Amino acid sequence: MSADEPYVPTEEDIQSLGSLCIYMAANAAPKWWNVPSDSVLKWVSDYYLTTAEPNQADIMAEIGWNEDYMMLFDGGLGLNLSDLAPFYADLLTIVPHPKVNSFIIPVFGAFTAITTIILALRLWSRISVAGKLGSFDWATVVAYFLIIAWGALAVHESTAVGEWGFYCDQTWTEAHSYERAYDILTFTYPIAILAIKVSLLLFYHQLSAWRPLRISVYVTGFICFANSMCGIFLWVYQCNVPNLWDYMADFMVAKTCKLDQMTVLMATGGVGIFTDVVIWLIPIPMVWQLQLNTRERILAVCTFGVGLVACVGSVMRLVAIRQLLYYGNVDGNDSRDPINAWAVVEMNLALICACVPALRALAIKHIPRIVSRTSDGTDVSKNSKGSSSYKEHGKPSIVSDEDQGTNASELGDYPGPRNSNTEKPESNVKVWSPITNYKTDEYSRMRE
């Protein structure tokens, strides 16, 4: 490195330096595992610069490398250790040494608080309006706890590396804990996402017996399950060493991967975004064909369509993966906080949006004067144009079979079937409305 022309490290230099620090420390004696990883590199560099007749035995005795590792570092990487160590030790003085600036903790805390409140309101709505919790409600509860556990592990990963964001400034113990948390997060992410999607698909399935809707639910559910399984098994078995984290820095383990890690994550993530969009659009055709006035139809579409907001988190997570997966930012900061933060946002937004229909039903019951009336003050239940259609010749309707209970409550303030002598619901079909299904005295007070 000439004093006249200062060397400017490239992104490849920073990545190579970080890897070299970790590999040297990981394969050294345990006494080196709890000091910064660059300590091994610095010691070897100083040894060659200050020793008149260096020999490999001294290095192996001090560092703890066996003969295989010594031969690998000394010539196996294309450079003699006497040249490699001083070059990268000098590089340490000019590369960035960023500190960890974790922002996932406030993101996790804020969304956990909001999601907890929203879920509690949803359960209250289901019990007070529908009278019981359905299978999709319990699936939502399971998804909630998976999201909390996933977010907590993401916070642990963020704090596991300690103060510094560059591999060379971290201890091997910190880097090891960080990589292990990352692998667990990657393995469990498809499971948490699948739980949210299953809760929504179960809700749609029990919402109506309309054949096109149920076929859409079955097909989408199969795609979601298959994509999640691909995400899990490809991650675990794409390489010949299933126990990824224990061999992340072992040169003696010939770890080869059939598929590129980035390709797997991009492919499964892309399919995930596609199913996100499909799931939020599934009920729209049914709602649009119901016999509703324009205001009610728009409100119903917005109730379900609001879930598309959650897709923003999915897209931004893939963008962050593309930019930061391997070695983080170009300044050497290997923090994967942006990836995990967007995943937390994605999961919680999806769960919150899944609760919106139930919250609307809750508002209709407890704030009927505001929500259940049209803009001119007329009760919606008196408006024949706002009546939902019933199960007839395969047409969409807000109905459920007897054994499915009152699952259409989330669609809100739609009254029962039209009052016509020629159009009556079948005897084995239940048509539910959060207005018409109240007890007589309760319904009378609402009309007053």
Same domain, 154 and 69: no
Task: Using the 3D structure, point to which of 92, 117, 136 is the last residue of a domain.
Answer: 92
Predicted pLDDT of residue 384: 38
- Residues 157/181, Cβ–Cβ less than 8 Å: yes
Predicted pLDDT of residue 3: 53
pLDDT range class, residue 193, cuts 50, 70, 90: very high
The number of distinct structural domains making up the chain is: 2
Among 100-104, 380-384, 418-422, the range of highest mean pLDDT: 100-104
Same domain, 131 and 256: yes
Greater model confidence, 429 or 15? 15
- Model pLDDT for residues 134-148, shown as the tens digit of each residue: 888 999 999 999 999
Task: Using the 3D structure, point to which of 72, 92, 112 is the last residue of a domain.
Answer: 92
pLDDT at 444 over 60: no
Three-state secondary structure call for residue 36: strand
Predicted pLDDT of residue 77: 73
Residue 196: CATH number of its domain: 1.20.1070
Same domain, 149 and 273: yes
Greater model confidence, 117 or 243? 117
Which 8-state DSSP code applies to residue 75?
A: I
- Residue 316 inside a domain? The answer is yes
- Residue 215 inside a domain? The answer is yes
- Model pLDDT for residues 276-300, shown as the tens digit of each residue: 889 888 888 877 776 667 777 777 6
- Residue 5 inside a domain? The answer is no
pLDDT range class, residue 37, cuts 50, 70, 90: very high
- Residue 336 inside a domain? The answer is yes
Distance CA 244, CA 230 (A): 17
Which phi and psi angles does 401 have, rounded to 5°? -65, 160
Distance CA 357, CA 302 (A): 10
Averaged pLDDT for residues 346-359: 86
pLDDT at 108 over 60: yes
C-alpha dihedral over 164, 165, 170, 173, to 10 degrees? 110
Same domain, 85 and 112: no
Task: Using the 3D structure, point to which of 319, 345, 369 is the last residue of a domain.
Answer: 369
pLDDT at 441 over 60: no
- Residue 313 inside a domain? The answer is yes
Greater model confidence, 305 or 66? 66
- Residue 165 inside a domain? The answer is yes
Averaged pLDDT for residues 25-31: 92
Same domain, 25 and 153: no
Averaged pLDDT for residues 228-257: 75
Same domain, 261 and 312: yes
Same domain, 186 and 223: yes
Range of the domain at 288: 104-169+180-227+250-369
Averaged pLDDT for residues 106-115: 94
Predicted pLDDT of residue 402: 36
Provide DSSP, 46-74.
Answer: HHHHH-SS--HHHHHHHH---HHHHHIII
- Model pLDDT for residues 148-190, shown as the tens digit of each residue: 999 999 999 888 888 888 889 999 999 888 888 888 898 899 9
Same domain, 155 and 258: yes
Same domain, 304 and 260: yes
Same domain, 74 and 130: no
- Residue 109 inside a domain? The answer is yes
Same domain, 80 and 204: no
Same domain, 41 and 77: yes
- Residue 134 inside a domain? The answer is yes
